[in-house]
Amino acid sequence: MDTKALNIPDEIRQEIEAFAAEVERLNRGEVSDDDFKRFRLQQGIYGQRQDGEQMVRTKLPAGRITSDQMSSLADFAEKYSHGILHITTRQDIQLHYVKIDDVPRGLEDLAQAGITTREACGNTVRNVTACHKAGTCQTEVFDVAPYALAVSKYLLRRDLTQNLPRKFKISFGGCNGCGLAPIHDIGLKAVIKDNVRGFRILVGGGLGSFPHGAKPLIDFLPADNMLQMAEAIVSVFDKYGDKRNRNKARLKYVVDKLGMDKIKELYEEEYAALNGNTYPAIDLSDEDAVPEIPSYQPNNEHDSDPEFTLWRDRNIEAQKQSGFHNVQIKLILGDFTIPQARALADIARKYAGAMILCTVNQNVMIPWVKEDAFGAVYAALKNIGLHKAGTEEIRDITCCPGSETCNLGITASRGLVQELNKDMENGFQPTKDLDHVSIKASGCPNSCGQHHIASIGFHGGAKKLNGVLTPHYEVLLGGRVSEDDVVFGTSVIKIPAKNAPQATKVTLEDFKSNKQDGETFGEYFDRKGKLHFRDLLDPLKSLPDIEASPESYIDYGSTEKFSLEDRGQGECAGAVTDMITDRITEAERAHFQGKLSLEKKEFKETGDHAKRSVIASARALLVTEGMDFNDDWECLKKFQSLVIDMEIVSARFAKLIDSFEST
């Protein structure tokens, strides 16, 4: 298995100096915040919801980080941030609450450790992900990690990737869908044909407010041609992605607009144009290497401890290399502290190969652990509170930062997940037949928490209930990903945030009581249908009056009245705010044109403009529900059921809908 850190180009140091100079110019008022933003995002620095605070996102290809690098991140967190390290669903590590003036020094520290933040944000190729078990998995076709590292290194800082229409995501999988290929711009699945390594290539996938499943482009691409393929597809995206309308700029929209036949034609043209290029060979030198494990003293004091037994059964898996094991470590909310980071680095050094893997499920994994080290590793993890059993099963819940730090966050998704975790620990006890069920939550429709592919998914929203603006969650059920396909969760019902834990419990109890032998949750949802679950959860749409239960109307982790007033402009999330603004502008323009037509007594044109204005306004509000419609009548019907019927706007607007029905 390749354990080399990604090589950082020498130019990175010059870029850090340039960044420091731009910060000084910003402080002197010589450059505007907007002009600085693009430069900042390109360096992996993201503005938080809190004024003056930054999030620094490191770029860790395939989620790989050495023990020494983890120690360096702990040092960074101690010097510059609020002391919490956070793992994302793209296998990055983020550090929040960093002052902009501290960023250049922090980037220098990271560069010295061989860590870059370059192009971790913005309209670039984001962190290249891969199955965290790549190189050690018993069922993998071959180790995909060297290829993920190679494409990440090749595309980093290239002119082609500096100003793409939107962000671009690449993922590698070695076997059973663990790479999540169907939800990526390029998804690569390992294949061997006639004893030649290669990849099946899917393109045009993505989540966001309007998820798309990736479509097959190439059944078999020799692995040696992987870099040329990636450059060709990125080139197609750069040329044909809509740079004027970032709301429709992802590759998935290019695929929708042009169709796969045209995409294949354009890809083949770009690929042929690159035939004269020379591409670096993939470094496979460490693929079969076994790291040297230091000598250690076994610890058997926990052998009779039932918690240890459960941890060993749930968190440890044998590698394909005989005698070695992967140890998965559960992180609640993807968070860990400075002492925990240092201890994890130390554990990997003492008992394994000094390598740590970040997972797409926001956990960490330490490979190359021998069986006689289990007790010592468990004891060390227990000392730092990271010994809980249960990874990659129902209690391992994924979520985004939500309204705690994200400008686009509507609800406190992290608070919801903390409440769900309490239920799992103290009340509702999940059984083995629920292990395959996944729960994911996002604070807005953008799906940074991947709610669209969860068995039970939640995305945040807001709605008036009993006359009070109240945090809500849209409940999506039945999502899942396989090797080549994805089923996105079906939106079932919108409920108050404080009822989401009960909705989870009711849904799971219903599944346990009525499922057939061997039936998965996704299969059960398909069999029972949306209406069954809507009726099941319908009693949870309401709350007591605010006088009787004021706490039900505020969000998790807050004591303040729920409000959207501090919700800011998104930077590189799903552009929800831009979409709303575009539709409101369209509505205002149509309204103005209607007034001009009325002055000219052009009554038919006046009615047409009025209808356009109402539909554009309806589309603007429906964006907050994660919906967009090309069909006007479908848009109006959904506006009626989700906005007018829910009393978000006055019922008098229903008359407008009725008038359109008769035209």
Can you read off the two tokens belonging to residue 637?
């019907």
Give the number of C-alpha atoms closer than 13 A to the C-alpha of residue 221, restricted to the C-beta side.
Answer: 23
Which pLDDT belongs to residue 574? 43
The CA R_g of the chain, rounded to the nearest whole Å, is 25
Over the stretch 366-390, which tens digit does the pLDDT of each residue have?
999 999 999 999 999 999 999 999 8
Under the banding of pLDDT at 50, 70 and 90, the label for residue 571 is low
> Would you state the pLDDT for residue 656?
64
Judge whether 456 and 524 are in contact, CB under 8 Å: no
Cα–Cα separations (whole angstroms), residue 598 to 281, 391, 413, 585: 68, 64, 47, 20
Count the neighbouring beta carbons within 10 Å of the beta carbon of residue 193. Answer: 12
What residue ranges define each of the domains in the chain, with the CATH number in brackets? 1-122 (3.90.480.20), 124-288 (3.30.413.10), 306-383 (3.30.70.3340), 398-553 (3.30.413.10), 576-661 (no CATH)
Angle at 417 between CA 415 and CA 423, to 5 degrees: 110
Q: What's the confidence (pLDDT) of residue 654?
A: 64
Does residue 4 surpass a pLDDT of 70?
no
| Degrees, nearest 5: CA angle 34-35-38 | 90
Residues 6+ apart with CB under 8 A from 344: 70, 329, 336, 356, 364, 366, 384, 386
Q: How many CA atoms lie within 13 A of 539 on its CB side?
A: 5
**To the nearest whole number, what is the mean pLDDT of the chain?**
90
- Can you read off the two tokens belonging to residue 225? 């041609």
Tokens in use for 245?
A: 């309308």
pLDDT of residue 244: 80
Residue in this structure with the two tokens 């990737």, named with its chain if needed: 161
Task: Give dist(CA 570, CA 573) in Å, integer.
Answer: 6
Provide the pLDDT for residue 53: 92
Q: What is the pLDDT of residues 74-113, one digit of tens each?
A: 999 999 999 999 999 999 999 999 999 999 999 999 999 9
Whole-angstrom distance, CA of residue 130 vs CA of residue 152: 11
Q: What is the pLDDT of residue 616?
A: 85
Whole-model pTM: value is 0.85
- Bridge partners, residue 62, by sequence: none
Residue spans of beta strands (DSSP E) within 295-347: 316-318, 324-329, 335-337
Token pair for residue 617?
């306004």
Average pLDDT estimate for 193-220: 96
Instruction: Give me the pLDDT at residue 576, please.
Output: 52
DSSP conformational letter for 641: I
Q: What pLDDT does residue 14 have?
A: 81
Q: In this model, does residue 3 exceed pLDDT 50?
A: no
Helices (H), 519-631: 521-528, 530-537, 576-599, 603-623
Please tell me the distance from the alpha carbon of residue 235 to that of residue 238, in angstroms, as a whole number.
5
pLDDT of residue 2: 35
Provide the pLDDT for residue 587. 81
Q: Give the model confidence (pLDDT) of 213-262 as tens digits.
A: 999 999 999 999 999 999 999 999 999 999 887 778 899 999 999 999 99
pLDDT value of residue 578: 57
Contacts of 450 (CB under 8 A, 6+ apart): 89, 183, 207, 398, 440, 442, 457
| pLDDT (mean) for 153-166 | 94
Q: How many helices (H) and strands (E) does the chain have?
A: 19, 22
Cβ atoms 622, 639 nearer than 8 A = yes
Nearest of 199, 167, 209 to residue 41 by alpha carbon: 167
SS3 assignment for 407-419? CCCCCCHHHHHHH
pLDDT at 597: 75
CB 80 within 8 A of CB 55: no
Confidence band (pLDDT; 50, 70, 90) for 627?
Answer: low
Q: How far is CA 547 from CA 230, 365, 468, 495, 556, in A?
A: 58, 48, 11, 19, 18
CA atoms of 305 and 311, how far apart (whole Å): 10
Q: What are phi and psi of 251, to 5 degrees?
A: -60, -30
Confidence (pLDDT) at 281: 96
Which of these, 249, 256, 222, 254, lies nearest to 236 by C-alpha position?
254
Q: How far apart are CA 145 and CA 17, in angstroms?
A: 32
Residue 573: which pLDDT band, with cuts at 50, 70 and 90?
very low
Q: Quote the CA–CA distance of 278 and 197 in Å, as a whole number.
A: 20
Residue 131 and residue 365 in contact, taking contact as beta carbons nearer than 8 Å = no
